Amino acid sequence: MSETLVITGAQLLGAESADIIVENGVIAEIGSGLSRSGARVIDAAGLVALPGLVDLHTHLREPGYEASETILTGTRAAAAGGFTAVFAMPNTSPVADTAGVVEQELALGEAAGYATVQPIGAVTVGQKGERLAELGAMATSRAQVRVFSDDGFCVFDPLIMRRALEYVKSFDGVIAQHAQDPRLTEGAQMNEGTVSAELGLAGWPAVAEESIIARDVLLAEHVGSRLHVCHLSTAGSVDIIRWAKKRGISVTAEVTPHHLLLTDELVRGYDARYKVNPPLRREEDVLAVREGLADGTIDIVATDHAPHPSEHKACEWQAAANGMVGLESALRVVHQSMVATGLIGWDDVARVMSAAPARIGRLAGHGTPLQVGAPAHLALYDASVAGVFTEADLHGRSRNSPYLGRDLPGRVEYTVHGGVLTVNEGSLVEELRA
C-alpha cells in the first residue's frame, strides 16, 4: 500500500487553502488542521492543487522505437509534468492495432508505475487507412480501449471514416482524427503563408486541416457518432468546431501547448526543433486557438509529446522528423499562454487538462474532482516561480523540446499517482514506494 500523505495548505484549483490526506491511494480527507501520525507531511503552502493531469495524446514509442522513448521513460516525463495518466498513440512497431499490442502497453505502464498508461488503438490495420483494425477486440481486451486513432496519418477515405465512426458506437468508443488531407500536404514542410514563401519550404495549407475537419463533423452528424479532433491548429478549424457544436454535433477538440504559444516565425532559423505536424501556424491562429480554448470550443489541451533521437533533428529541416516533446513543459506553457494572460483560471486548467480528456477517453478513476473518496491522482504546482527551461527539466529519453532556453513560469513540485509520490520537492522520485 502507498504511504500516507498529509498535504498542508494547498490551494485547491488555485482557490481556497486546505489540507488533504491521502491514504490507501485515495483522498481520505480534505479540511483544515489535519494530521496523521507517521504520515509524510508535504508543506504545500502557496501551491496550486490540481487533479492529476491526463494527456489524451502521447507518443511513448514502445514497442519498436525504444531509442526515442519507452513506456518507462515517457511516463517519467509525464510525472515530471504533473500527469498521472497518458493515452499512448498507436504508431508503434508493430502498430497497436491488435489486442495483444495494447495489452502489452498496458502491462508495461503498470510495471513502470509513474502514470497510468491507457493505450489508443489504431483505426485501420497498420494505420494504412484501408481496412478497419479489430476495434472490438481492443475494446474488450484488458486495455479496454475506447479511443481509436491513426494519428500521424489521416483516415482520409471518407467511407472508412464513416464506418469507423459508426462501428465504435457499440462500445462507446471515439475516433480521434489526425485531420490532414494527404494530397494537399504532399512534401509539406511548414505552414503555408508569408514565411514559407520566403524560406522556400513547401507549404502546409490550413485548408488541408480544415477541409477534413469539416467533412468529419458532417459525417459524425450523419451517423450520430462521437468524433474527437486531434491537435487542431488554425483559426478556421476553431470556427468549424464552433459551428459544429452549435449545431449539436458530438465533437470534441484538442489543441497542443505549442500551438497555444509558438508561431511559424520560429522556423526562420531552420532549427528543426520547431518542425512539427501540424505545423506551427500564424500569430492569428495562436490567438484563435487560445480564444477557442477559453470559450469551450476546444475541449482539451493534449501534448502530442513526440520524442525523436537527436540525429533526426540535428540535420537539414527537410530531412528532420516532425514532433516535439511536451509532457514536462505542458502545464507551464498553458500557464504562460492561458492563465497568465487571464484567459482561463486554474479551475479551467483542471477541466481542460484532466477532467475533459479523461471523460473523452472514458478513462475511469482519472480526471475526478479533488474530493474525498476520489483516487489520489494530483499535482501540486508552484505558480509563483519562473525559470529558464533546460535539459535538466526533461525526463524522457529525447531532447527535442522547442522550449529549451526559453523562460517559462511555474514548477511542478509534487505529483501523486494513485497515492504514490512520483515527483517530490520538484524532483522525480527514482524509487517509487508503491
- So which residues are the catalytic ones? 304
The least CB distance from residue 184 to other proteins, in Å, is 11
Q: What is the Cα–Cα distance from 72 to 64, expressed in whole angstroms?
A: 14
Stretch that binds other proteins, among 44-52, 165-173, 193-201, 394-402 (CB under 8 A): 193-201
- Residue 194 sits in the site that holds other proteins (CB under 8 A): yes
- Residue 109 sits in the site that holds other proteins (CB under 8 A): no
Cβ pair 154, 209 in contact under 8 A: no
How many residues in the shown chain lie near other proteins by CB under 8 A? 23
Nearer to other proteins, 319 or 385 (CB): 319
Measured CA to CA in angstroms, residue 215 lies from 149, 177, 184, 208, 410 at distances of 17, 11, 15, 11, 39
Nearer to other proteins, 197 or 340 (CB): 197
- Residue 183 sits in the site that holds other proteins (CB under 8 A): no
| 205 preceded by a cis bond (ω within 30 of 0) | no
> One symbol per residue from 269 to 288: x for binding other proteins (CB under 8 A), - otherwise; what is it?
xx------------------
The least CB distance from residue 189 to other proteins, in Å, is 8
305: number of CA atoms within 13 Å, CB side? 37
Nearer to other proteins, 199 or 428 (CB): 199
Helices (H) and strands (E) in the chain, counts: 12, 19
- Residue 93 sits in the site that holds other proteins (CB under 8 A): no
189: buried, middle or exposed (CB in 10 Å: 19+, 13-18, 0-12)?
buried
Stretch that binds other proteins, among 27-35, 57-65, 110-118, 202-210 (CB under 8 A): 202-210
- Residue 111 sits in the site that holds other proteins (CB under 8 A): no
Cα three-residue angle 167-172-174, rounded to 5 degrees: 70
Nearer to other proteins, 177 or 180 (CB): 180
Instruction: Using alpha carbons, select from 433, 316, 387 the residue that is nearest to residue 22.
Output: 433
Pull the grid cell for residue 323. Answer: 514532433
Nearer to other proteins, 195 or 355 (CB): 195
Task: DSSP for 13-43, please give it.
Answer: TTSSEEEEEEETTEEEEEESS---TTPEEEE
CB-based contacts of 316, cutoff 8 Å, min separation 6: 270, 272
Using the rule CB under 8 A, which residue among 198, 265, 284, 407 binds other proteins? Answer: 198
Q: Within positions 366 to 425, which residues make up the interface with other proteins, using CB under 8 A?
A: none
The least CB distance from residue 317 to other proteins, in Å, is 5
Q: Within positions 304 to 363, which residues make up the interface with other proteins, using CB under 8 A?
A: 311-312, 314-319
The least CB distance from residue 393 to other proteins, in Å, is 22
> One symbol per residue from 203 to 222: x for binding other proteins (CB under 8 A), - otherwise; what is it?
x-x-----------------
Q: What is the Cα–Cα distance from 317 to 305, expressed in whole angstroms?
A: 19
Nearer to other proteins, 171 or 270 (CB): 270
The least CB distance from residue 44 to other proteins, in Å, is 43
Burial code (b: 16+ CB inside 10 Å, e: under 16) for 378-411 equals bbbbbbeeeeebeeebbbbbbebbbbeebebbbb
Residues that bind other proteins (CB under 8 A): 189, 192-194, 196-203, 205, 269-270, 311-312, 314-319
